[in-house]
Amino acid sequence: MVHDEWQRRDFFRFAAAGAVLLGAAACTTAPQSGGQSGGSALDRAKKAGTIKVGIAGEIPYGYTEGGNVTGESPEVAKAVFKSLGVPKIDATQVEFKQLIPALAAGQFDMVTAGMAILPSRCKQAAFSAVDYVTPTAFLVPKGNPKQVLSFEDVKTKGVNLAVLSGTIEQQVAKATGIPDGQLQTYDGQPQLLQALQANRAYAGALTDISLKALLKQNPGAALEVTKGFVPEIQGKKQIQAGGFVFRKTDNDLVAAFNTELTKLHQNGEWLKIVAPFGFTQDNLPPADVTTEQLCSGS
């Protein structure tokens, strides 16, 4: 799951199709610079008492349940913004691959979708400090009869692999040299799950946290999650680390958010917030995994 990359997206049966807007009203479109009248994004959020965020409808990272936005990323964001004097978040759901373009277009002021921190994404937007780390895994038939445990196994054993569009798993699969004929790309978790159940693909790649949540939501599926692993490209480990995403011009918002996020990591509150979504102490980011490192590709 750390979610390009290292990421994942939209596996679950009830993920809503199309855009879901939570809150009182539709967002006013902002210039790409983020420069609405009325001050910075942080100032506007404090004055309005709410921050507009983007999600992708992916369990357990950011989704709606009972009309309310929840998931690891939105719940952490709620705690951060409460400390900053912003008591509410309003969420708009778009396809995962559209999150950064929609952010740049001003549909919302940040992305709370468990997005992997990748050099290509860092060129388009600003990332918070690392929120979490998580390994990749495969969803395979029970017993994993073909013993597919890595991207290299997918290639050499000639099985079809399902991935979500715009994710790190898709990028790693291509970099591994998996032929296009073996690679199936889907826009959402429901479609990916259907492909596996219909035997159109042998395996589906995503973070292990997402896949475990998928099986929890679909207990009758004759599938299992493989042991998590860190993919490698040309001998280099592709650490999957997720964070929150902002426009590059919103420096004050990023700085304020990082201050409070670091406090949550250090005081133990983060673990309490994320435990209901399957995250553990093992998902806390190590000190040597930083946004700067991930953005540079080093």
If you average pLDDT over every residue of the chain, what do you get?
A: 87
- The token duo for 185 is 């790309």
DSSP state letter for 70: E
Statement: residue 143 has pLDDT above 90: yes
Q: Are 112 and 89 in contact, with CB atoms under 8 Å apart?
A: yes
Please write the tens of the pLDDT for every residue from 42-82. 999 999 999 999 999 988 999 999 999 999 999 999 999 99
Q: Are 42 and 89 in contact, with CB atoms under 8 Å apart?
A: no
**Cα–Cα distance, 215 to 165 (Å, whole number):** 21
Task: Check residue 242 and give left, alpha or beta (phi > 0: left; psi -120 to 50: alpha).
Answer: beta
**Cα–Cα distance, 11 to 69 (Å, whole number):** 17
Statement: residue 35 has pLDDT above 70: no
Q: 3-state DSSP call for residue 217?
A: helix
Rounded to two decimals, what is the model's pTM?
0.75
**Cα–Cα distance, 220 to 11 (Å, whole number):** 15
Statement: residue 189 has pLDDT above 90: no
Least confident of 174-183, 228-237, 241-250: 228-237
Q: What is the mean pLDDT of residues 218-244?
A: 91
Q: What pLDDT is stored for residue 247 in this prediction?
A: 98
**167 falls in which pLDDT band (50, 70, 90)?**
confident
Q: What pLDDT is stored for residue 16 in this prediction?
A: 36
- The token duo for 133 is 């780390």
- Taken in order of first residue, the domains within the chain and their CATH numbers are 41-133+242-289 (3.40.190.10), 136-237 (3.40.190.10)
Statement: residue 1 has pLDDT above 80: no
**What is the rounded end-to-end Cα distance, in angstroms, of the chain?**
20
Q: What is the mean pLDDT of residues 204-225?
A: 93
Statement: residue 234 has pLDDT above 70: yes
DSSP state letter for 142: T
Q: What pLDDT is stored for residue 38 in this prediction?
A: 60
| DSSP assignments along 166-202, one per residue | TSHHHHHHHHHT--GGGEEEESSHHHHHHHHHTTS-S
Q: What is the mean pLDDT of residues 143-150?
A: 98
Q: What pLDDT is stored for residue 236 in this prediction?
A: 82
**Rg (Cα) of the chain, in Å, rounded?**
18
Q: How many CB atoms lie within 10 A of CB 236?
A: 10
Q: What pLDDT is stored for residue 71 in this prediction?
A: 97
**Cα–Cα distance, 184 to 115 (Å, whole number):** 21
**255 falls in which pLDDT band (50, 70, 90)?**
very high
**Cα–Cα distance, 10 to 160 (Å, whole number):** 19
Q: What is the mean pLDDT of residues 19-25?
A: 35
What is the percent of the chain where pLDDT is above 90? 75
Q: What is the mean pLDDT of residues 204-228?
A: 93
Q: Are 72 and 277 in contact, with CB atoms under 8 Å apart?
A: yes
Q: Quick one: which of 255, 217, 241 has its CA closest to 295?
A: 241
